[in-house]
Amino acid sequence: MRPAEVSVTAGAGQEDGGRKARARPSVLVAGLAVTVALLALVAMASVALGARSVSFGAVIDAFVAPDGSNDHTVIRELRVPRTLLGLGVGATLGLAGALMQSLTRNPLADPGLLGIDQGAALGVTLALGLFGLTDPVVYVWFAFGGAALASVAVYSLASSGRSGSSPVRLALAGVAFGMVCTAISSAILRMDSQTFDRMRFWLTGSLAGQTADTLVRLAPFMVAGLVLGLLLARPLNLLALGEDAGKALGVNVNRTRILTGVAVTLLCGAATAAAGPLVFVGLIVPHAVRALVGPDQRWVLPYSALAAPILLLGADVIGRLIARPGEVQVGIVWAVIGAPIFIMLARRKRVAAL
Amino acid sequence: MNVRVGSWSVRLAPRALLVSVLLVVAGFLVTVAALSTGEFTVPVPDIVSAIFGQGTPVAELIVGKLRAPRVVTGLLVGAAFGLSGAIFQSLTRNPLGSPDFIGFTAGASTGGILAVVAGGSAMTIAGGALAGCVVTAALVYLLAYRGGVQGYRLVLVGIGANALLLAVNSYILTRANINDAANAGAWLTGSLGGRGWEHAWPVALALLVLLPLCLSIARPLRMIEMGDDAAKAMGIRVEVVRAAAVTAGVLLSGVATAAAGPVIFVALAAPQLARRLTRSPGVTLASSALMGAVLLTAADLAAQRVLAPTQLPVGVLTAAIGGTYLVLLLRKDRH
């Protein structure tokens, strides 16, 4: 049954399940344009606003006529890489969350909540703390290893046992595994106070302190994960009908699962290597997106990848503005915003039944 | 096997009784080993005289002032964590539903490291931890309340609170200066190093009051595990029992965290290991407490001796044990 997969890349697939999407594709395309415009606005705000006040004219000058002044250096060397990092990390986490929720059919799936980010963080801590590897292209592989291990462990931990993988089981398995990883990370960090001092900021989840070089070197991994993830929209759509129905419609179930796992690993590993473990971004965004565009993954996945960086950068800007001249790390801002939303979702009666 | 004294009767499963006796023996052996061995060996017969001030001054100092408080704190903290874990696993009907994962320990940590960063004494740190735990638990319980508290909702709300509190904890670490941060980080790993009698007393007191309470609600708790409706049909006041159990569980994990820091996984593993040994269908409170005591003291002994002279904090070891246990859970429980 090859044709099913081939038509994914062609972006067609009107013949089944497409009725809902076909009813209002023009609205959804227009919405995509609005989302991109919003993203551009937030990105501009992220470049212009910060702990140090820079006039709007100076922001423009920094690009058209850089003169090496302090303001221009701040913008070119710090804020632009930081903004690009936020775009990349946001897109990867948003897509990773959407993929995980689709694959596990679990409304509470989130890379940070299910321990995948903490697994990746343990990998990075091992690389930096024990082996002294400081090149992001080297330690990103440790992050991938940790993320992959965590995905496999949490997924099988949750789906073992009589009740199968209920949302509660999956969430608990994720928290438990995440705590093992965090405990081992902090044990490693305690042996070396210099690494501890460096890592305590990174472990909070922060976009600050990474250079443009890091971003450039991690970008290929992020792009690979994004492309692979977006290509999985169609088989995931068919799998959502149930495993048997999916098989009957020509989906290779195991291959889809494995490829989704690979995509999630790439996305979470690269995002964590860049910004530390960030909780809730991948949870909240796909929920909001599904409420707006419906359950079709061909819309949910790209919308999630575009909407998440808006919210991540927005939170980052808020964190910079509320604690001047210091800043609140974006991971904290997100935890404060995300936890109440998560608790609201958890209080809904439906969750247990899903 | 039923034991009857007048109108008072208790059902004893022979296997559970045997397991309890074996656990007491194991706890005794670990205690003796912890008191006698180390850099300075005290022969076993001299231990008793050293504790009661009849031994050599060196033995008295090492056994009575250094080792004994540490072992006793370990036994009590372990028992408190084990009992608390058993209560919450029973309430949530989930083997992973332990106070470590539903925010209570994280809340205690927040209170504790706030006190550490503020330069508080051991007493202030303990008070901060207990307060943090109680406040967190109250909020989680209220947020999970919807005409009664369902286990799954308690777990999910707790997980949300846990994520928030872990972020707050790391925020406190980033705002503190490096020395305070390192101290708080050390406390956060969970350790029995340098514990004195002042750490052991509060836990002992809590156990003295709460253990009988827990045992008296053990039976209704088992009924509630079958489902609220079934329990109600048998005349059990479900919400009253549940509120009492939550209160006891929270206080126990609070005082335990206050004494030793957030030692993770004891509350998770002890009830499950005890359940497997007793072959009981559900968690059992008394054997879980005993198992917790043995588990924590044995882990602490290993943490001191395995890499000697390097002293590992016991929290690292319990995390490693917990990781192994999770893998076992993953492999064995396929039905």
Residue A310 in tokens = 């808006």
Minimum mean pLDDT range among A196-205, A217-226, B213-222: A196-205
Distance CA B219, CA B241 (A): 10
- Determine whether the interchain pair A338/B163 forms a contact, defined as Cβ–Cβ distance below 8 Å: yes
Q: Quick one: DSSP state of residue B101?
A: T
Q: List, for residues B215-244, the tens digit of each pLDDT value.
A: 888 888 888 888 888 888 888 888 888 889
A331 pLDDT band, cuts 50/70/90, is confident
Highest-scoring range by mean pLDDT, A77-81, A215-219, A300-304, B170-174: A300-304
Select from B155, B323, B334 the Cβ nearest to the Cβ of A172.
B155
Q: Which residues pair with B119 in a beta bridge?
A: none
In DSSP notation, A36-58 reads HHHHHHHHHHHHH-SSS---HHH
Could you tell me which residue, B47 or A125, shows the higher pLDDT? Answer: A125
- Determine whether the interchain pair A177/B326 forms a contact, defined as Cβ–Cβ distance below 8 Å: yes
Q: Is the pLDDT of residue A13 over 70?
A: no
Select from A157, A201, A343 the Cβ nearest to the Cβ of B174.
A201
pLDDT at position B279 is 83
Fold that domain A49-347 belongs to in CATH: ABC transporter involved in vitamin B12 uptake, BtuC (1.10.3470)
* Percent share of chain A, pLDDT over 70: 89
Domain spans in chain A, listed from the N-terminal domain onward: 49-347
pLDDT at position A160 is 64
Q: Is A275 on the interface with B (CB under 8 A)?
A: no
Name the one residue in this structure whose structure tokens are 């005409």. Answer: B147
A99 pLDDT band, cuts 50/70/90, is very high
Q: Give the closest-approach CA distance of A194 to chain B in angstroms.
A: 10
Phi and psi (nearest 5°) for B66? Answer: -105, -55
- Determine whether the interchain pair B160/A342 forms a contact, defined as Cβ–Cβ distance below 8 Å: yes
Instruction: Report the SS3 class of residue B4.
Output: strand
Could you tell me which residue, B298 or A329, shows the higher pLDDT? Answer: B298
Residue A1 in tokens = 């049954």
Q: Give the closest-approach CA distance of A178 to chain B in angstroms.
A: 10
In the predicted model, what is the mean pLDDT of residues A252-258? 85
pLDDT at position B87 is 94
Question: Best mutation site among B93, B156, B173, B228 for testing chain A: the one with the most A CBs within 10 Å?
Answer: B156
Residues in B closer than 8 angstroms to A161, CB to CB, are 333-335
The count of CB pairs under 8 A between chains A and B is: 155
Could you tell me which residue, A104 or B207, shows the higher pLDDT? Answer: B207
Select from A168, A183, A347 the Cβ nearest to the Cβ of B319.
A183
In the predicted model, what is the mean pLDDT of residues A259-286? 89
pLDDT at position B51 is 75
A308 pLDDT band, cuts 50/70/90, is very high
Domain assignment present for B4: no
Q: Give the closest-approach CA distance of B4 to chain A in angstroms.
A: 38
Cα radius of gyration rounded to whole Å, chain A: 20
Domain assignment present for B317: yes
Distance CA B251, CA B126 (A): 12
pLDDT at position A61 is 77
pLDDT at position A15 is 38
Q: List, for residues A148-188, the tens digit of each pLDDT value.
A: 988 888 877 777 655 555 677 778 888 888 888 888 887 78
Domain assignment present for B249: yes
Residues in B closer than 8 angstroms to A328, CB to CB, are 171
Q: Which long-range contacts (CB under 8 A, 24 or more apart) does A75-81 make?
A: A75/A47, A77/A212, A79/A46, A79/A47, A79/A50, A80/A47, A80/A212, A81/A210, A81/A211, A81/A212, A81/A215
Cα radius of gyration rounded to whole Å, chain B: 20
Select from A196, A200, A346 the Cβ nearest to the Cβ of B160.
A346
Number of structural domains chain B divides into: 1
For residue A25, CA distances in Å to A13, A28, A34 come to 13, 5, 14
Question: Best mutation site among B141, B179, B321, B326 for testing chain A: the one with the most A CBs within 10 Å?
Answer: B326
Select from B96, B164, B182 the Cβ nearest to the Cβ of A172.
B96
pLDDT at position A10 is 34
Select from B94, B146, B334 the Cβ nearest to the Cβ of A168.
B94
Q: Is the pLDDT of residue B118 over 50?
A: yes
CB B316 within 8 A of CB B307: no
Domain assignment present for B5: no
In the predicted model, what is the mean pLDDT of residues B262-283? 86
Highest-scoring range by mean pLDDT, A194-208, A215-229, A335-349: A215-229
Q: List, for residues B32-47, the tens digit of each pLDDT value.
A: 888 888 777 878 777 7
In the predicted model, what is the mean pLDDT of residues A191-198? 73
Chain A residue with minimum CA distance to B151: A168
Rounding to the nearest 10 degrees, give the CA dihedral for residues A124, A129, A131, A132. 100
A225 pLDDT band, cuts 50/70/90, is very high
B330 pLDDT band, cuts 50/70/90, is low
Domain assignment present for B3: no
pLDDT at position A98 is 93
In the predicted model, what is the mean pLDDT of residues A285-301? 88
Residues in A closer than 8 angstroms to B333, CB to CB, are 160-161
How many residues are recorded in chain B? 335
Chain B residue with minimum CA distance to A204: B170
Distance CA B295, CA A154 (A): 25
Name the one residue in this structure whose structure tokens are 């965090």. Answer: A182
Residues in A closer than 8 angstroms to B146, CB to CB, are 347
Select from A171, A332, A342 the Cβ nearest to the Cβ of B171.
A332
Tally Cβ neighbours within 10 Å of residue A163: 13
Residues 276 through 315 of chain A touching chain B, CB cutoff 8 Å:
279-280
pLDDT at position A8 is 33
- Determine whether the interchain pair A193/B178 forms a contact, defined as Cβ–Cβ distance below 8 Å: yes
Q: Is the pLDDT of residue B208 over 90?
A: yes
Chain B residue with minimum CA distance to A283: B160
Question: Best mutation site among A186, A278, A354 for testing chain B: the one with the most B CBs within 10 Å?
Answer: A186
Residue A144 in tokens = 């991938």
* Percent share of chain B, pLDDT over 70: 93
Which of A110, A139, A109, A114 is CA-nearest to residue A124? A139
Burial string for B36-64 (b: 16+ CB within 10 Å, else e) reads bbbeeebeeebbeebbeeebeeebbebbb
Which of B27, B75, B74, B83 is CA-nearest to residue B210? B83
pLDDT at position A163 is 53
- Determine whether the interchain pair A331/B167 forms a contact, defined as Cβ–Cβ distance below 8 Å: yes
A4 pLDDT band, cuts 50/70/90, is very low
CB B80 within 8 A of CB B293: no
Q: Which residues contact B129 (CB under 8 A, 6 or more apart)?
A: B108, B109, B111, B112, B115, B254, B257, B258
pLDDT at position B289 is 94
- Determine whether the interchain pair B330/A157 forms a contact, defined as Cβ–Cβ distance below 8 Å: yes
Q: Is the pLDDT of residue A9 over 90?
A: no
* Alpha carbon distance, N-terminus to C-terminus of chain A: 30
* Alpha carbon distance, N-terminus to C-terminus of chain B: 30
Select from B164, B173, B330 the Cβ nearest to the Cβ of A156.
B330
Q: Is the pLDDT of residue A12 over 60?
A: no
Domain assignment present for B7: no
Select from A167, A179, A329 the Cβ nearest to the Cβ of B174.
A329
- Determine whether the interchain pair B323/A184 forms a contact, defined as Cβ–Cβ distance below 8 Å: yes
pLDDT at position A352 is 44
CB B34 within 8 A of CB B301: yes
**Domain containing residue B97:** 12-333
Q: Which residues contact A140 (CB under 8 A, 6 or more apart)?
A: A217, A218, A221, A269, A270, A273
* Percent share of chain A, pLDDT over 90: 19
Distance CA B133, CA B119 (A): 20
Residues 87 through 126 of chain A touching chain B, CB cutoff 8 Å:
108, 112-113
A268 pLDDT band, cuts 50/70/90, is very high
Q: List, for residues A14-64, the tens digit of each pLDDT value.
A: 334 444 444 477 888 888 888 899 999 998 888 888 767 777 777 777 777
Q: List, for residues B131-165, the tens digit of each pLDDT value.
A: 999 999 999 988 888 777 777 788 888 888 988 99
Burial (CB < 10 A; 0-12, 13-18, 19+), residue B310, is exposed
CA angle A325, A330, A334 (to 5 degrees): 130
Residues in B closer than 8 angstroms to A158, CB to CB, are none
- Determine whether the interchain pair B155/A171 forms a contact, defined as Cβ–Cβ distance below 8 Å: yes
Residues in B closer than 8 angstroms to A208, CB to CB, are none
Q: Is the pLDDT of residue A2 over 60?
A: no
Residues 141 through 200 of chain A touching chain B, CB cutoff 8 Å:
153, 156-157, 160-162, 166-169, 171-173, 175-177, 179-180, 182-184, 186-187, 189-190, 193, 196-197, 200
Task: Residue B191: give its domain's CATH number.
Answer: 1.10.3470.10
Q: List, for residues B50-73, the tens digit of each pLDDT value.
A: 777 777 777 778 887 888 889 999
